[in-house]
Amino acid sequence: MADAPTSPYLVLARKYRPRDFTTLVGQDAMVQTLGNAFAQNRIHHAFILTGVRGVGKTTTARILARAFNYEDASGPHPTLDLSVEGEHCRAIIEGRHVDVIEMDAASNTGINDIREIIDSVKYAPASAPYKVYVIDEVHMLSTAAFNGLLKTLEEPPPYVKFIFATTEIRKVPVTILSRCQRFDLRRITPEIMTGYLESILAQEGISFEPEALAMIVRAGEGSARDNLSLLDQAIAHGNGTVSAATVKAMLGLGDRARIIDLFEQLLGGRIGEAIDTMRALYDMGADPQTLIADLCDFTHLVTRIKVVPAAADDVSLTPDERVRGAEFAGKLSMRALTRAWQILFKGHDEVARANNGLQAAEMALIRLAYAADLPSPDDLIAKLSNQPAPAPALPQGNGMMPRGPSGGGPSALRVEAPQLVRTEAIAPQTQPQAMLQPQVAPQPLVQPALANVGSYKDLIALAGAKRDIIVRMALEGSMRPISFEQGRIEVALADGADPGIIATLSARLQAWTGERWLITVSSKPPEGLTIKQEQAKRVEAAHAAAHDDPLVQAILETFPGAKVVNVKLREDALAATPDLPPPPPEEDDE
């Protein structure tokens, strides 16, 4: 007798597909909202489910269809308690119920497909309490199809329910969204996903290693379908077991411990050892682009642990990642980690575009190793000025990052030139206080209701306090003071200045001081410079003095092509405007 044919294998993603809300993992917020709505009989007629691939959008739509059409011996009544199959549940689960219509919008995008739905909506359900339309990938519908659906979606018959699913919620018109109750399905967290996979493996009677599950969970990126597909593949690849070695080979991953060793060698400047480790991982089958990506992942992990120490407790991390990641976070400065991330991120793109990925990966590692050995700006300034290097603010450990960036705050170069400012290095622990209490705090000009102007400098400050940009720019750049006394000012207009500014200034002064001011224009040709011109001249002189400073000269010689870009003057030097003496008393005409 011939053997009976065996049933075809059903993949894990379909075999363990949730059939009710008790087995739907990772979407507790949505289940609670729906449970409250069903309990209060406040069930909407249209729902839209959005989220990344594999988080349960279509599955949730089918469970909702069961909940709408649940009918038992007591009669039809919508409920989320689906522990006992109702009259229509089996047909809905198997996708053959006549009143639950599923449509793939990716292959039915036109208005004609929507017209079929609009026409069928007029007819009551054949056997179930509700006629349910499930439209998957609804964002693929055309504009005409969306517009044709609007009226029916807003006022459907009482026996019709719509459930939409999409991965691109932003492509769905707002007119559709406003007619639906929206649920955002979240990525499944590593803790929940790990427990879910363990329960499935226990039901299947398959042994596994925790490290292997951690790799699968990380690769699955919060998608239940992706994780189950990878688990299916790992079981087949490992001949009935799920081990770390087989998962590494299947995913083309390098050994995580070797990746961490490679990270330590690179950040320690040991490029020879790093290249040997890279070659060994490549010979074991690891892809160069994957190796660079793994280094990026570990750099991000160390940085995240440095900022949020609790990140080391993530269950998807291997013991090496958890322990050594925390050690690196305590030893490396944020400057070193961000520089490593930038170099690796750029290297990943180069490896993806290179004809020979291994060569591009090795060049990226060499660049990172030599960058790790570069002196910090503080060390460089100390060497140029023949001074001892400043002590780092953050600890360096075990020879890592030799002569690398310290953890101190930014430091600016001091140039001994006239009217130049020295910006001191601020330690991280004192930086907030230094920011809250600056050494030179600008004193705001507090003006009373009627201001008192005693000098040309007070007049400029008053225009600034009143935020009169036109008057202030004219005072600084269009006129030069000749004489100043209470109620009377004599000025000389610069070439090209607008004469109408005199009347404007007079009106402003009367409004600000409550007095009439006589403003006259000197008949003599203007001599000297305006305040703006004087400030520009002082800046130019300071720039020249800075360029001649010995320390700056040493820097320019050390770095060919470098140049002095900007020189900042002190506030008091920049705003220096000598008060004008009052004009001499006028003589009588006798």
SS3 of 127-144: the string is CCCCEEEEEECHHHCCHH
3-state SS of the chain: helix, strand, coil percent to 5?
50, 10, 40
pLDDT digits (tens, 9 = 90+) for 365-392: 999 988 876 666 666 676 666 655 555 4
- Give helix 256-267 / helix 288-307 axis angle, nearest 10°: 70
Q: Does domain 252-372 have CATH number 1.20.272.10?
A: yes
User: In which band, very low, low, confident or very high, does the pLDDT at 283 lie, cut at 50, 70 and 90?
Assistant: confident
Give the H or E element holding residue 103. Answer: strand 100-104
- Per-residue pLDDT tens for 43-94? 999 999 999 888 889 999 999 999 999 988 888 888 888 888 888 999 998 8
pLDDT tens digit string along 445-470? 444 456 677 788 888 888 888 888 88
Q: Quick: pLDDT tens for 422-433.
A: 333 334 443 333
Tell me how far apart the alpha carbons of residues 80 and 335 are, in angstroms, rounded to a whole number.
53
Contact between 370 and 267 under an 8 Å Cβ cutoff? The reply is no
Q: What is the pLDDT of residue 343?
A: 92
Chain-centroid distance of CA 497 in Å reads 49
Residue listed under structure tokens 């939409």:
164
On the question of a common fold for 12-184 and 252-372, the answer reads: no
Distances (CA, A) of 468 to 260, 514, 579: 61, 17, 21
Domains in the chain: boundaries = 12-184, 252-372, 415-434+448-582
CB–CB of 580/481 below 8 Å?
Answer: yes
Give the Cβ contact number of residue 4 at 10 Å: 6
Least confident of 176-185, 329-338, 578-587: 578-587
Instruction: Report the distance separating Cα 558 and Cα 551, nearest Å.
Output: 11
Mean pLDDT score across all residues of the chain: 79
Which is it for the CA torsion 34, 37, 43, 45, positive or negative? negative
Q: What is the pLDDT of residue 556?
A: 79
Q: How confident is the model at residue 163 (pLDDT cuts 50, 70, 90)?
A: very high
Q: Residue 541, by phi and psi: left (phi above 0), alpha (psi -120 to 50) or beta? A: alpha
**CATH architecture of the domain covering 12-184:** 3-Layer(aba) Sandwich (3.40)
* Euclidean distance between CA atoms 32 and 170, whole angstroms: 25
Listing DSSP states for 196-258 in one string gives HHHHHHHHHT--B-HHHHHHHHHHHTT-HHHHHHHHHHHHHHTTS-B-HHHHHHHHTPPPHHH
The share of the chain scoring above pLDDT 90, in percent, equals 26
- 493 within 8 A of 478, measured Cβ to Cβ: yes
Cα(208)–Cα(204) distance, integer angstroms? 11
pLDDT of residue 416: 37
pLDDT score of 588: 44
Higher model confidence: residue 444 or residue 417? 444
Return the amino acid letter for 322. Answer: R
**Quick one: how many helices (H) and strands (E) in the chain?**
25, 10
- In this prediction, residue 395 carries a pLDDT of 38
Tokens of residue 193, six digits: 């996903």
| pLDDT band of 257, cuts 50, 70, 90 | confident
CB atoms within 10 A of CB 260: 23
Tens of pLDDT along 545-573?
Answer: 877 888 888 887 888 777 877 777 665 55
Q: Which residue has the higher pLDDT, 214 or 574?
A: 214
Ramachandran angles phi, psi of 292, nearest 5° = -65, -40
CA–CA dist 365, 357 (Å, integer)? 12
pLDDT at 435 over 50: no
Q: What is the mean pLDDT of residues 490-517?
A: 81
- 158 has a pLDDT exceeding 70: yes
- Lowest-pLDDT choice from 11-15, 231-235, 447-451, 583-587: 583-587
Which pLDDT does position 490 carry in this prediction? 83
Say if CB 509 and CB 453 are below 8 A apart: yes
Report pLDDT for 419: 39
Q: What distance in Å separates the CA atoms of residue 229 and residue 344, rounded to the nearest whole number?
A: 30
